[in-house]
Structure 1
């Protein structure tokens, strides 16, 4: 094998390891949050060693930033909730669509759902890495929440009032997504399927409509 061929093989191996670490980290951070997601568990799932995390990302913080970048890219590429589509709906239907899309991780376990769970963890256990990241690139869940609440607020609502309402709405689905496993245990014993998801959307939409109408 020539030196060029050897370099190509090594490059492919390096990229494979890097991709495996990001995939494993996404899964671990979705399950345990940033604080609870250990590098040891990530490397076990990726079948890599800790030195690989340091080599590719400079440590846990760098790896987490890559996961957040991947999340932002996935939301934009999949356009799973389109801003223009929201604007074309009535305020009430836009609210329901927002809640439905961000509650989907309760019944789906795809890549986007795992990213949403990471954001849900950050709503109660904010990390410095995440805080620095959103300062430059606000997560889609917040930007879309702002788009929805502005439909209910007076045109002259202050920036503070908009922020309060936006954060309040964004928290509604986050709680259920973050704590789904705990809510499935006694004393709540909630089981989420497609029908239960629709009932939850109905309930949260009703509560949210009353809350936003009173702003």
Structure 2
């Protein structure tokens, strides 16, 4: 029998909501830094000032927590944080390509929540985790749909579906490497320093290289 007063019940409920939100926030940061496999529950709970029991209670474990992070990430990118299909179609093919690359490379100089989501997707581009595969099977990511929209601007209308898929995956990989490996690239022997100016130079370089590749398809 629950003898708690309504006020006490609301306090408990509010505390649970705060813990759940803290776990999602901490998990987003940890998975962005280390990927799904490298992001430990211990590190997540340390950052969230929670315990593993809370992860199991709210999400059923690490996999459930990751699915929740992916869901929040997808909704956020869909709603307000990435270029729209209309923006892609309104620009020349070259401008659309550059805008796509620029948007995806922003995590190199920004550390906001959206950039954390993009870094998570960049990790998944190397060795997709089972939770990620299950998620995208039912919820295709907007960043890949936009990559396809960009490449279709360069391909003939009757391009085979396989060619479109190959080209889309190739384009999506161009910025992902830099986003995923930013910390390693900042150390010797590369010693790259990413700021607004170097970001623009990188975008210019990748745009130029991608245009050459797309022109030869």
1:34 partnered with 2:36: yes
Taking the TM superposition and a 5 Å limit, the aligned residue runs for 1:100-111 are: 100-111=102-113
Q: CA deviation at 1:26?
A: 0.1
Residue 81 of structure 2 contacts residue 114 of structure 2 at CA under 8 Å; is this kept in 1?
no
What is the 5 A alignment of 1:68-83?
Answer: 68-83=70-85
* Cα deviation code 1:89-121 (max 9, x no counterpart): 000000000000000000000000000000000
3-state SS of paired residue (2:147): helix
1:173 is matched with which residue?
175
Q: Secondary structure at the match of 2:137?
A: helix
Partner of 1:155: 157
- Please say which of residues 121-130 and 79-88 is displaced more in the overlay: 79-88
CA distance in 2, matches of 1:177, 1:94: 20
* Counterpart check, 1:13 vs 2:15: yes
Unaligned runs of 5+ in 1: none
Cα shift readout 1:150-208 (whole Å, capped 9, x = no counterpart) = 00011101111000000000000000000000001111110000010000000000000
Secondary structure of the residue that 1:188 maps to in structure 2? coil
What SS is found at the alignment partner of 2:154? coil
Rounded Cα–Cα distance in structure 2 between residues aligned with 1:75 and 1:26: 14
1:125 & 1:17 partners in 2: Cα distance? 30
Q: Distance in 2 between matches of 1:125 and 1:162?
A: 22
- 5+ residue gaps, structure 2, are none
Quick one: distance in 1 between partners of 2:31 and 2:127?
A: 12
Q: TM-score, normalised by structure 1?
A: 0.98
Distance in 2 (CA, whole Å) between partners of 1:61 and 1:79 is: 25
- Give 2:195's aligned residue: 193
Using the alignment, how far apart are the partners of 1:84 and 1:31 within structure 2? 32
Divergent runs of 4+, >6 A: none
* Length, aligned pairs only: 215
Structure 1 CA distance, aligned partners of 2:82 and 2:129?
26
Q: Is it true that 1:118 corresponds to 2:130 in the alignment?
A: no
Whole-angstrom CA distance in 1 between matches of 2:129 and 2:214 = 29
Separation (CA, whole Å) in 2 of partners of 1:46 and 1:163: 39
Counterpart of 1:208 in structure 2 is: 210
Q: CA RMSD in A?
A: 1.0
Counterpart of 1:142 in structure 2 is 144
